[in-house]
Structure 1
Amino acid sequence: MLRLVVLPVFGYLAWRDIKTRRVPRRTWYPLIALALVLLVWDTYVLFTGDTTAYDQRLFVIQTAISVFFLIPLAYGFWLLGGFGGADTKAFMTIALLLPTYPEFNLWVFDIQGTLSTLPVVDTEVGVFSLTVLANTVLIGALYPVALAAKNGVSGYISPGMFVATPIQAGKATQKYGVLLEFVEGRLRDVRSLSGLRAQFSWRRLDLDALRMYLQWRDLTLAELRDNPERYCDPASLPAEPNPPGNGSIANTDVTATDSPKKTRGDVGDVPEDDPWGAAAFLDDIDGNAFGTTPEMLRDGLEMLADEDEVWISPGLPFIVPMFFGLVLAFTYGDILFAFLRLVGVA
């Protein structure tokens, strides 16, 4: 029953992930502490109570699979860029907190039939965290399908219609996501590995990094689009830039004005060969802007200055399908295993 606390906590985190794409680091500490306490308690009860050696071995194996497989797996996806930091911590927490299948006997409330015991469907392996992971992946897979359908109905047909959506360039700072750019030309015309890589290297500028850059320059996107030649000149960089913030929409307060303000051109500290001051910006904040490089920032700014419409990958707040995956896991159980059992594979 104590483990059910994960549901309201992840419900709150899912809501917060949608609104701000930010999850406080301190959120995980109480859940991890609870997970460790419950693991110690489960171990004590199993090895001191009236349980068989088979049950004890099964518990150890299931816990080992959850902890020593799922945690490294989540960390590996983070290293490859497949998971964000919060997603990785979430899966690691689930691995510690939910290693084995729970059992809720609702027949004590006079509930009969299939729903008398939850989850309805368990697996042969019996590792509950893997069920949560499988449910999360299946629910998350619906997102690109829905995005492609939305784009198709709107008439936006593109190789990236499953991962991106078009927006007005001037509204980029009001969105979360990553700018994408699709290479023109047919895939069958590719003649080199670098050309093949370019076909699928769509990712450009993270919009959080864009907000940090504009905040740092005390500049709005509208001003940048109105006068790109001026702001492309590194001499226009402020002599005393603002703190960049964290890139969140809620915490961005760019209030550029026409009041006189010293630029680097005024004080003689002008970087050489640095369009838009991209390198100067990243150097000033120690390069920590969601993996942004000077080239990525320059390309993104050029795109936003020149185009009326751009494609962004809104990104899937992964904790959202994880929350629904948890709800399904605690109630119905493992969706994938149920399907495989239905077709006779499992």
Structure 2
Amino acid sequence: MFGVATGPDLLRLLAVPVFAWAAARDLRTRRVPNWTWYPLVAVGLIALLWDVLTIGDLTGVQRRLFAVQTVLSLGFVAPLGYFFWRIGGFGGADAKAIITLAVLFPVYPTYQVLGGTYPVYGASLGVFSFSILSNTVLVGLLYPAALAVRNLPQGTFTPAMFVGHPVSLRDVPTAYGRLLETPDGFTRSGLDIDALRMYLRWRGISFSALRADPQRYRGTVPVDANDPGDGSLGDGTIDEDGPVDPVDDDPWGAAAFLAEHSAYGTTPTELREGLSTLSESDRESIWITPGIPFIVPMLAGLVVALAFGDVMFAGLSAVGI
């Protein structure tokens, strides 16, 4: 159509603006609504049906290859997103984004732009959704190096500089990510700040109140606890510090809180260590890992795949593998 691409492949380009919007929202709020993916899945199914209706124009070998690539995309790449979500490797939005890509891009699209044909390099496997994922992984590998370069001017050399950055203690409640510190030092599995916001809302206190009188909260649980929400910034904090009951065997009331609320898999030990670290520190800043929302490198992987193709396969081919 229009001398650029087939109709189905033009439809598939709708993924770029939608993923760009989702990536921007994920960076800003760490939340992407579920409804984001439904229209794209519908577009993918329409494009796939359109391809099937025109498959008669292909040779027998091409038809069989199309069938194999489609089966691999829908039967391997899509379940891969679900699997990593189930084991906690991805968030729900990340898994839905991968499933959406598997439906949208089972085979390599072809675009004619300014006399050139894109993607430039096609992987021998030919499953385009897999090429997007492999590009995504490569983009993600650049993240630790970028963080280290960003942290070098501060002159602080620590393992945390490759996975995080320091933030002011007073800004912790409005940040996204995970603490990289405990009372014993560096950790990769510190308290999730979303879980911190949930805990503060559950107790009905502000972060400044926690730091001002940590002993009050270390040995008590609230009598009338609040709904903790989901830890997003939009929930705010209920600053209604009410009556408390003393508790001897549950520091910070961590077990009581987590018995009712999962808080993204946080354990009582992680919550206790995080609260102790934040309430006892007399420094102005603390290291956190902001992580990188997976949809951000996925957008980059998609754009690179559409323009160039599969970077990993190209690299392997260049060295004779």
Q: Counterpart in 1 of 2:24?
A: 15
Map residues 120-135 of structure 1 onto 2, 5 A cutoff: 120-135=120-135
Deviations 1:231-286 (A, max 9, x none): 11215x2x33332122112x1322526xxx64133xxxx55522212222223xx3
1:306 to 280, 289, 298: 280
1:292 to 266, 269, 275: 266
2:239 to 249, 256, 266: 256
Task: Return the alpha-carbon distance in structure 1 between the equivalents of residues 127 and 176 of structure 2.
Answer: 34
Alpha-carbon deviation of 1:167?
2.3
Map residues 68-107 of structure 1 onto 2, 5 A cutoff: 68-106=75-113
Map residues 9-88 of structure 1 onto 2, 5 A cutoff: 9-46=18-55, 49-88=56-95
The letter of the residue matching 1:248 is S
Give unpaired runs (5+ residues) of structure 1. 186-198
Task: Return the alpha-carbon distance in structure 1 between the equivalents of residues 299 and 262 of structure 2.
Answer: 29
Describe the shift of the 1:183–1:161 C-alpha distance in structure 2 as closer, same or farther (beyond 3 A).
Answer: farther
Task: Return the alpha-carbon distance in structure 2 between the equivalents of residues 240 and 161 of structure 1.
Answer: 41
TM-score by length of 1: 0.83
Alpha-carbon deviation of 1:336?
2.1
Alpha-carbon deviation of 1:172?
1.2
Does the 8 Å CA contact 2:118/2:306 hold for their aligned counterparts?
yes
SS in 2 for 1:122: coil
Q: Counterpart in 2 of 1:338?
A: 314
Check if 1:245 corresponds to 2:229.
Answer: yes
Describe the shift of the 1:39–1:183 C-alpha distance in structure 2 as closer, same or farther (beyond 3 A).
Answer: farther
Does the 8 Å CA contact 1:170/1:304 hold for their aligned counterparts?
no
Task: Return the alpha-carbon distance in structure 2 between the equivalents of residues 219 and 274 of structure 1.
Answer: 18
Task: Return the alpha-carbon distance in structure 1 between the equivalents of residues 198 and 139 of structure 2.
Answer: 32
Percent identity of the aligned residues? 48
Give unpaired runs (5+ residues) of structure 2. 1-9
Deviations 1:95-123 (A, max 9, x none): 111010001123xxxx23xxx21111111
Describe the shift of the 1:287–1:298 C-alpha distance in structure 2 as closer, same or farther (beyond 3 A).
Answer: same
Q: Counterpart in 1 of 2:190?
A: 204
Check if 1:178 corresponds to 2:178.
Answer: yes
Alpha-carbon deviation of 1:54?
0.5
Calculate the aligned-residue CA RMSD, in Å: 2.2
Task: Return the alpha-carbon distance in structure 2 between the equivalents of residues 335 and 182 of structure 1.
Answer: 39
TM-score by length of 2: 0.89
Describe the shift of the 1:6–1:205 C-alpha distance in structure 2 as closer, same or farther (beyond 3 A).
Answer: same
SS in 2 for 1:105: strand
Task: Return the alpha-carbon distance in structure 1 between the equivalents of residues 220 and 251 of structure 2.
Answer: 6
Aligned length: 310
Deviations 1:299-324 (A, max 9, x none): 11011111234321111111111112
Task: Return the alpha-carbon distance in structure 1 between the equivalents of residues 17 and 169 of structure 2.
Answer: 37
Check if 1:232 corresponds to 2:218.
Answer: yes
The structure having more radius of gyration, on CA atoms, is 1
Alpha-carbon deviation of 1:58?
0.2
Does the 8 Å CA contact 1:204/1:300 hold for their aligned counterparts?
yes
Check if 1:280 corresponds to 2:266.
Answer: no
Does the 8 Å CA contact 2:70/2:106 hold for their aligned counterparts?
yes
Task: Return the alpha-carbon distance in structure 2 between the equivalents of residues 83 and 183 of structure 1.
Answer: 28
SS in 2 for 1:229: helix
Alpha-carbon deviation of 1:342?
3.2
Alpha-carbon deviation of 1:88?
1.3
Deviations 1:63-115 (A, max 9, x none): 12212221232233333433222111111110111010001123xxxx23xxx
